[in-house]
């Protein structure tokens, strides 16, 4: 027996343009939501909560624009706006059961919002009109969806959700990571260490300089994502079915954008060309691309932490990683770079999501991209995961990491690459001869240099000073 089958619990009859359908009696949704629920039993990935809340803000803004332009009477518009705001505030989450894998325009999720808001608005209208007013009727299409189409509303909701979540969570997380890394730049400024290129010893630098590269990458990610967000502030609402604005009153796009900006605190504007934003989602691909590049940078940082913290005795062991939890169920005392691993896994997901978003955008045909739900799902997942992982990495890894100064000094003393400082004095070939002698005979660089006869002890001590090789940046 399928517990989700409405035949095993009380139902009510709802009607849409295709006829009647039985809906669970306790639910607020209507016929179109129920048809989608029954016809698309694919996976379990529901439409993201961020998208549902953004859509609800959209419905409130549309109701207010429709009231302003005389499309809806004030009392009806007010009840729709109130009901929509309740959804935006997180009420009735169980009333939005539809999965991502549905119609590519997102029509069924749009109607899910319309039906739930209409039913709630009708109850509010009834309460405000009094017991003798008769049954209040709010129509999902004619009233809640007035002046709109799924084809302009769903992509607008995508933009709203993406911009809100990026501003609200991801950018602050990146700012926090940048600040935490900059704290370590200062703390490690005096720690001279072996540089490494090709995973081989290279000339010295400071650990602070190495961390300054990570801080700069975090700053670049913020700049990159912020720039991409600017394009996402342009929205296609007002284009209705194909971008022409059929059935929307003159001035609706501007009135809607103004209302939306009031409610979100973000400056959304009508698209210069609605046809482009309904047929394709290039701005969201740009945003995903910024996330993709940032994920690539963060993946490199995470991997470096793993490598620099490897050991602690049989690896590089230059970083002392925070011991957040036991690292093994069998090996006592083991500490693993778990935060770096989590961030790395999130980065691979974000990079994969960008491929999905890129393909889904390119698969749009003629006047409508019909792959909107998977674009929305993938993009919002990337924003959410990256924001969470970056904040966790900064809090539980970067803030607590320390330099193993003794280990760093030991490795620097054993390195042969400070021989590079001799090049200007004795030439590359003689300096290479010293390095090879040290490697072959197991000598220190200083002993090999003196044995070569090319430099004196005084010259070596004057010319080969690792701290002088790190520059002033």
3-state secondary structure of 16: strand
Count CB-CB contacts under 10 A for residue 249: 17
pLDDT tens digits for range 255-294? 999 999 999 999 999 999 999 999 999 999 999 999 999 9
Query: Is there a catalytic annotation at residue 61?
Result: no
| Tokens matching residue 400 | 């607590």
Catalytic residue, candidates 7, 17, 198, 329: 198
pLDDT tens digits for range 114-131? 999 999 999 999 998 765
Decide: 430 and 422 in contact? Cβ < 8 Å. Answer: yes
- Looking at residue 369, what is its pLDDT? 98
More confident call, 359 vs 133: 359
Decide: 335 and 380 in contact? Cβ < 8 Å. Answer: no
User: What's 99's DSSP letter?
Assistant: B
pLDDT tens digits for range 322-356? 999 999 999 999 999 999 999 999 999 999 999 99
CA nearest neighbour of 87 among 127, 47, 147, 126: 47
3-state secondary structure of 271: coil
pLDDT tens digits for range 432-469? 999 999 999 999 999 999 999 999 999 999 999 999 99
- Looking at residue 132, what is its pLDDT? 55
CA nearest neighbour of 66 among 143, 125, 128: 143
- Looking at residue 473, what is its pLDDT? 57
% of the chain surpassing 70 pLDDT: 97
- Looking at residue 165, what is its pLDDT? 98
- Looking at residue 1, what is its pLDDT? 36
Decide: 102 and 36 in contact? Cβ < 8 Å. Answer: yes
| CA end-to-end span of the chain | 70
Count CB-CB contacts under 10 A for residue 50: 22
Q: What are phi and psi of 457, to 5 degrees?
A: -60, -40
* pLDDT value at 78 more than 50: yes
Secondary structure element (H or E) that encloses residue 319, with its range: strand 319-320
Q: How large is the average pLDDT for residues 42-68?
A: 98
User: What's 109's DSSP letter?
Assistant: H
Q: How large is the average pLDDT for residues 299-313?
A: 97
User: What's 141's DSSP letter?
Assistant: I
Catalytic residue, candidates 128, 328, 444, 467: 328
- Looking at residue 9, what is its pLDDT? 82
The CA distances from residue 367 to 91, 151, 193, 238, 239, in Å, are 35, 10, 58, 15, 11
Of the pLDDT bands very low, low, confident and very high (cuts 50, 70, 90), residue 383 is very high
- Looking at residue 47, what is its pLDDT? 98
Query: Is there a catalytic annotation at residue 328?
Result: yes
Cα separation, 106 vs 52, whole angstroms: 12
- Looking at residue 93, what is its pLDDT? 97
Cα separation, 318 vs 321, whole angstroms: 9
The CA distances from residue 153 to 147, 173, 241, 453, in Å, are 10, 29, 10, 80
What's the gap between Cα 324 and its chain centre?
25
| Tokens matching residue 23 | 């809906």
- Looking at residue 134, what is its pLDDT? 58
Decide: 142 and 363 in contact? Cβ < 8 Å. Answer: no
312: cis peptide before it, omega within 30°?
yes
- Looking at residue 3, what is its pLDDT? 45
């Amino acid at each position: 027996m399928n517990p989700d089958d409405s035949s095993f619990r009380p139902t009510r009859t709802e009607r849409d343009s295709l006829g009647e359908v039985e809906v669970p009696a306790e639910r607020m949704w209507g016929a179109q939501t129920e048809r989608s629920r029954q016809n698309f039993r694919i996976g379990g990935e529901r439409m993201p909560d961020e998208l549902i809340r953004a859509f609800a803000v959209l419905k409130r803004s549309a109701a207010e624009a429709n009231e302003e332009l005389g499309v809806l009477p004030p009392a009806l518009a007010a009840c729709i706006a109130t009901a929509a705001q309740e959804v935006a505030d997180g009420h009735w989450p169980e009333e939005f059961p539809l999965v991502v894998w549905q119609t590519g325009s997102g029509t069924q999720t749009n109607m899910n919002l319309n039906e739930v808001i209409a039913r709630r608005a009708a109850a509010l209208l009834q309460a405000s009109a009094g017991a003798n007013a008769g049954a209040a009727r709010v129509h999902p299409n004619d009233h809640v969806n007035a002046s709109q189409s799924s084809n302009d509303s769903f992509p607008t909701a995508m933009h709203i959700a993406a911009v809100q979540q990026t501003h609200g969570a991801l950018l602050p997380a990146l700012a926090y990571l940048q600040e935490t890394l900059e704290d370590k730049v200062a703390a490690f400024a005096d720690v001279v260490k072996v540089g490494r290129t090709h995973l081989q010893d290279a000339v010295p630098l400071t650990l602070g300089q190495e961390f300054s590269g990570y801080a700069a990458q975090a700053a670049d990610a913020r700049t990159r994502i912020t720039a991409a967000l600017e394009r996402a502030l342009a929205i296609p609402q007002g284009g209705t079915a194909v971008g022409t604005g059929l059935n929307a009153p003159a001035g609706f796009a501007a009135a809607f954008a103004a209302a939306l900006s009031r409610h979100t605190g973000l400056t959304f504007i009508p698209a210069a060309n609605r046809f482009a934003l309904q047929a394709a989602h290039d701005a969201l691909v740009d945003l995903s691309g910024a996330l993709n590049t940032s994920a690539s940078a963060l993946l490199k940082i995470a991997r470096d932490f793993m490598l620099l913290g490897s050991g602690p005795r049989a690896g590089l062991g230059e970083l002392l990683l925070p011991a957040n939890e036991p690292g093994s169920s069998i090996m006592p005392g083991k500490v693993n770079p778990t935060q770096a691993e989590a961030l790395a896994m999130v980065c691979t997901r974000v990079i994969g999501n960008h491929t999905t978003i890129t393909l889904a955008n390119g698969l749009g045909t003629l006047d409508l991209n019909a792959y909107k739900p998977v674009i929305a799902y993938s993009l919002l997942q990337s924003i959410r995961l990256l924001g969470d992982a970056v904040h966790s990495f900064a809090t539980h890894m970067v803030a607590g990491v320390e330099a193993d100064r003794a280990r760093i000094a030991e490795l620097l003393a054993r390195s042969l690459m400070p021989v590079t400082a001799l090049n200007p004095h004795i030439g590359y070939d003689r300096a290479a001869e010293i390095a090879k002698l040290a490697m072959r005979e197991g000598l220190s660089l200083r002993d090999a240099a003196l044995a070569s006869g090319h430099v004196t002890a005084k010259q070596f001590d004057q010319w080969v000073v690792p701290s002088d090789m790190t520059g002033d940046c």
